[in-house]
């Protein structure tokens, strides 16, 4: 079904240094409602710059040099993201789009409980909520991400890395956004915890219907979780297709190179 949530057209980002560096070059893509879109490529290919750019999170010397970003709200409104004022953009980021940043599980305030940090999200963005309503919402969030409401008074150092990452996902999920952008959310976690987090993201997507842009250099991981995958190289999307076709019939040589760089778990035994 053709039901776009985000349309990016001819989007470019330049780092205004001497000489200027084109980090993202004329990228166009359309994210469907409820879809998990994987964004893959080696370090420095521009995938994080693209994700930050569409949310206007870039800082100098990065400059959006061309293109448009349109968010198709479920209410039917088409929002020109580049035209939003600063305060409108601040509300938009939490209400419509949320982000789990790279290394986010280490970004929690070490001297505040996780309950108070989640409570702050509602206090700032849902000022009409009572203290009791906020407390109930925080407990519900912690249950949803399988941390458990009993952990509401825990401090970040009392949680494992996987638990802290779940708290960050809870924070991103708090206002029920329509799009969640996840930048290398499982990089610092061991393989078993990675799989648990990925399973949970898929389950939450099915439950709440949000879309996901999942950024990683780990292509096998994206093949497991994504509906479609965009392959980036040197600031450009060189291939965009379903995960199945990327795996079975990659078209671009760079995609084939990426796939061949990861060891297969199955295959003929090598005689020694």
Instruction: Convert the pLDDT of each residue in 44-68 to its tens digit.
Output: 999 999 999 999 999 999 999 999 9
CB atoms within 10 A of CB 187: 14
Helix (H) or strand (E) run with residue 66 in it: strand 62-72
Helices (H), the chain: 47-54, 86-95, 114-125, 131-144, 161-173, 191-208, 219-225, 243-248, 253-260
Token pair 């915890």 is found at 193
Domain annotation covers residue 128: yes
- What is the pTM assigned to this prediction? 0.91
SS3 content of the chain, % helix, strand, coil (to 5): 40, 25, 35
Token pair 């996780």 is found at 114
Q: Is the pLDDT of residue 270 over 50?
A: no
Provide the pLDDT for residue 193: 87
State how far the Cα of 129 lies from the Cα of 132, in Å rounded to an integer.
8
The more confident residue out of 181 and 106 is: 181
Domain annotation covers residue 150: yes
Residue-number span of the structural domain to which 122 is assigned:
110-175
- The pLDDT tens digits for 197-225 are 889 999 999 999 999 999 998 888 899 99
Domain annotation covers residue 238: no
Domain annotation covers residue 154: yes
Domain annotation covers residue 184: no
Domain annotation covers residue 81: no
Domain annotation covers residue 57: no
Which whole-number Å values give the CA distances from 123 to 18, 117, 143, 174, 257, in the listed order? 44, 10, 20, 11, 48
State how far the Cα of 150 lies from the Cα of 148, in Å rounded to an integer.
5
Total domains, the chain: 1
Domain annotation covers residue 163: yes
């Amino acid at each position: 079904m053709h039901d776009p949530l985000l349309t990016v057209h001819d989007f470019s980002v330049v780092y205004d240094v001497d000489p200027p560096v084109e980090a993202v070059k004329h990228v166009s893509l359309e994210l469907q409602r409820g879809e998990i879109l994987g964004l893959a490529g080696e370090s420095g290919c521009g995938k994080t710059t693209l994700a930050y750019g569409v949310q206007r999170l870039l800082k100098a010397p990065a400059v959006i040099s061309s293109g448009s970003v349109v968010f198709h709200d479920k209410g039917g409104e088409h929002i020109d993201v580049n035209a939003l004022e600063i305060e409108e953009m601040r509300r938009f980021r939490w209400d419509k789009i949320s982000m789990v940043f790279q290394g986010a599980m280490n970004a929690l305030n070490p001297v505040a409980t996780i309950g108070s940090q989640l409570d702050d999200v509602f206090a700032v963005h849902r000022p009409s909520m009572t203290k009791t309503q906020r407390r109930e919402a925080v407990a519900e969030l912690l249950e949803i991400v399988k941390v458990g409401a009993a952990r509401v008074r825990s401090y970040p150092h009392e949680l494992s890395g996987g638990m802290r990452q779940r708290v960050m996902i809870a924070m991103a999920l708090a206002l029920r956004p329509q799009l969640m952008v996840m930048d290398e959310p499982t990089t610092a976690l061991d393989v078993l915890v990675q799989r648990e987090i990925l399973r949970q993201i898929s389950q939450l997507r099915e439950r709440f219907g949000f879309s996901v842009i999942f950024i990683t250099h780990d292509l096998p991981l994206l093949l497991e979780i994504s509906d479609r995958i965009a392959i980036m190289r040197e600031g450009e999307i060189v291939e965009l297709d379903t995960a199945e076709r990327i795996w079975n019939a990659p078209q671009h040589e760079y995609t084939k190179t990426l796939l061949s760089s990861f060891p297969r778990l199955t295959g003929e035994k090598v005689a020694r």
